[in-house]
Amino acid sequence: MKPILVRLLAFLSPLALNEAAIAQKSTSPLNFTPSNVKIAVAPYAAAEADLKALTEMKTLSPKMFERFTREFKTAYDIRVYNNKEERYIQVNSKTDGDLNRTTFTRKGKFLHNIKHYDFSKLPGSIAENINDAYPGYEIFGGVAEIKVMNKVAHLVLIENKKSWKRVKVIDGDIEVYEEFDKSQD
């Protein structure tokens, strides 16, 4: 090992002493403006707010904290709403840009989650089933994915020239949840 170290030092010494090895000089002065500082501080402040929300969640219910951190590993922009008059705690968060509204009992039992996302993220099989069931309609807008216990429902907006419909999809079954006629001008 000693001969390797000696060879390495012999090889690196000229490089360290060479002028070219000196760090590059910056030709532009550092320019700190309030907007630059705000941009640099924003992620830190957001992470600090998330940590505070998670700490509050753990204080309210360790069981809720465990479930939330297991189910929503990449959650950010976390907000905990603890309404003392209600029997539940609502946690709003984002994952991959999608909004989640998760509700727990005061003891930390998961009640439901409502996830809102763009229709482009809708699973292909669900989109295909809707397109087959409603020819002439197009999927558009946002999707609400509702999880209660082990069931998942999707509320999806579709439209044609005359109307909008919000369809509910559960286990492959599709039914109209709401329907609106477009005004004819």
E strand or H helix at 120, and its extent? none
Q: Is 95 within the bounds of a domain?
A: yes
Identify the pLDDT of residue 19: 47
Q: Is 18 within the bounds of a domain?
A: no
> What is the Cα–Cα distance from 51 to 80, expressed in whole angstroms?
11
> What is the Cα–Cα distance from 50 to 56, expressed in whole angstroms?
10
The CATH number that applies at residue 86 is 3.10.450.360
Q: Is 162 within the bounds of a domain?
A: yes
Q: Is 84 within the bounds of a domain?
A: yes
pLDDT grade for 158, boundaries at 50, 70 and 90: very high
E strand or H helix at 126, and its extent? helix 124-133
Identify the pLDDT of residue 83: 80
Instruction: Extract the tokens encoding 95.
Output: 């994952």
Q: State pLDDT tens for residues 63-88.
A: 999 999 999 999 999 999 988 788 89
Rounded-to-10 torsion of CA 88, 114, 92, 106: 20
Q: Is 93 within the bounds of a domain?
A: yes
Count of structural domains, the chain: 1
Location of structure tokens 């209600």: 86
Domain extent, residue 71, equals 38-181
pLDDT grade for 56, boundaries at 50, 70 and 90: very high
